[in-house]
Amino acid sequence: MAVIINGKDLLFEEVIRVCREGEKVIIAGEAKEAMNKSREYVEKKLKEGAVIYGLTTGFGKFANVAISEEETAALQKNLIISHTCAMGDAYPVEYVRAAMLLRCNNLCRGYSGIRFSTVQTMVDMLNAGIHPIVPEKGSVGSSGDLAPLSCIALGLIGLGMVEYKGKIVEAKEAMKKEGIKPVELAAKEGLALNNGTQMMTAVGLNVLWDAFKLLKIADIAVAMTGEAQQAIRKAYDHKVHEIRGQRGQITEAENLNKLLDGSGNAKPLHETKVQDPYSQRCAPQIHGASRDAIYYVRDIVAREINAVTDNPLVFADDDEVISGGNFHGQPMALAFDFLKIAISELANVSERRIERLVNPAISEGLPAFLTKYGGVCSGFMIAQYAAASMVSENKIYDHPACVDSIPTSANQEDHVSMGTTAARTAAMVLDNAQKVIGIELCAAAQAIWLREELGQDGIKNLAPATRAAYEYIRKFSDPIEEDIIMEPELAKFDEMVKDGGIIDAVEKVVKLK
C-alpha cells in the first residue's frame, strides 16, 4: 500500500501510517500538473522582471532589497543555510517524517511555485528512510517553522546530517547510497520549503494521536479504580448525562457503563455509602470535557494537514503572486495549548484517584499504601509522590505558549505564534500523563488483588471488561507482596499505556469510543 498525496485530502490516519509505520508515499498526477503550472508561471514572471517578494527580493526586513536574476539561486540556498538555527535535542524520527510528508502535501496544491522534481526528491528521501536531523528548539511559529523546516531542506540539498538505517550520517552519503541526487534550488524554492507550519503540526498531530488512546486508557483506569474502591455505578446512568447534553460526557459515561457492566464490586448502589468523591463520580464530566477539547483540536489539525501555509502564494490563473500570512501558526498554537490542558486534566484527576487508593483514611478499607506489611514496607507511598510531581510539572508546561509573542526580523515580524512551543510542551504533558495513568493502573491492580487477599472477592467480582484489563496487566506485572524497586515496575505500566495493548485486551470484550 501507499499513501497518495494531492494536497487536498490527506487523512490524519494516513499521516500516522507514513510517520510511524513507514508506509510509502506517491504524488498524484493531478498534483504534478498543478505544480508544473505554478512553476511555469513563476518562470514567466522572472523573465518579465517582475518584483516579487522572495523571488527577486530579500526576506523579512530585506524585502526591499532587489535581487538580480543571476543571484536568485544563491538567494534560495543562502536562505536555507542561514536559517538552520534550530538547537537542542533532535526530534524523534516519526515527527520528522510527519513534517516531511505534510510539507510535500502542502506543496502539491500548486500554489508555491516549486518544481515537481524538488518535491519528488523529498518524497524519495521519505520513502528511502532518509530523515534530516532536526533539533527541537528555535521556532517562534511565524514565519512558520523557519528553523526546523530549513533543517529538513538542508538535507534535501545534500547538506547536514540525517538519520539513515539507524545511524547518523551525512546527507549526501545517504542520498548517494539510495541513488537520490541532491536538489540545486531554483528561484522561490527555498522559501517554499521553509515557510509553513508543518513542524508544529507534525508534533501536535502525533501527540493528538496518542491522546485518543489515552482517553480510552484513562477510562479503563477509572473502571479499575472503581472496582478497587467499590464505586457506585448509578452516577454513570445515561439519564444523568443526557439531560446535560455534553457529547464527550455522554460518551465517557457509556464507556464506563460498558467497562463496569457485570461488576460485583462497583454496584449500581451501595448499602454503606450514597456517593463517591468527584474523582470517581465526576469522571464522565471531567474526562468528557477533555474528550471534547481533543476532538476540537482534531478538527483544526485535519484542516491544517491539507492547508497551504507558505509565502508568497502563486495564483497562476489570476496572474497574481500574493504575499500573505498563512505561515502564521496561531490556529495551531491555540489548538495545541488547548490540547495540553485537556491531557493534563486526565492526569490531574488520575492522581487524585491514586491518592484515594493509597490513603487509608479514604481508601474504603484498603491497607495503607497498598501493602500488607505497613511500617516495614512503604508500598505505593512514593508512587503517589511521583504522580503528584508529574501533575505539578504539567501545570508549568500548561502555561499557554500562544499568549506570548516576541518581535523578530527587526520588528517586520512583530507578532509570532509560539505554536511549536505549544506542540512541544503538549508532548511533554502527554508523556507525564501517560506515566501518571500508568501508576493508577498499577495501584488499582494492586488494590484489586489486596481485596481478594482480604477475603473480599476483589478479583472474582470483576466485570468482564475490567477482568480482561486485570489479566492483561498480570501478564507483565505480578502483585507486590513486599517492597520492590519500583521504577522498573512503573516503567512497565508507562510502556503499557504508550503501546495501547491494554485497549486491545479490553476491546475483545467491549468496544470503547
Task: Please identify every residue annotated as catalytic.
Answer: 53
Cα dihedral sign, 297-301-307-311: positive
399 vs 390: CA distance, rounded Å: 15
Residue written as grid cell 489570476:
318
Buried b / exposed e along 249-260 (16+ C-beta atoms within 10 A)? bbbbbbbbbbbb
Q: Which three cell numbers stand for residue 209?
A: 494521536
Which 3 state secondary structure label does DSSP give 274?
A: coil
CA 231 to chain centre: 33
What DSSP assignment string belongs to 212-255? HHHHHHHHHHHHHHHHHHT-BGGGG-HHHHHTT--HHHHHHHHH
| Separation CA 270–CA 280 (nearest Å) | 15
Partnered with residue 57 across adjacent β-strands are: 66
Torsion of CA 246, 249, 255, 260, to 10 degrees: -130
Q: Is 288 within 8 Å of 250 (Cβ atoms)?
A: yes
The closest of 340, 342, 331, 339 to 418, measured between CA atoms, is 331
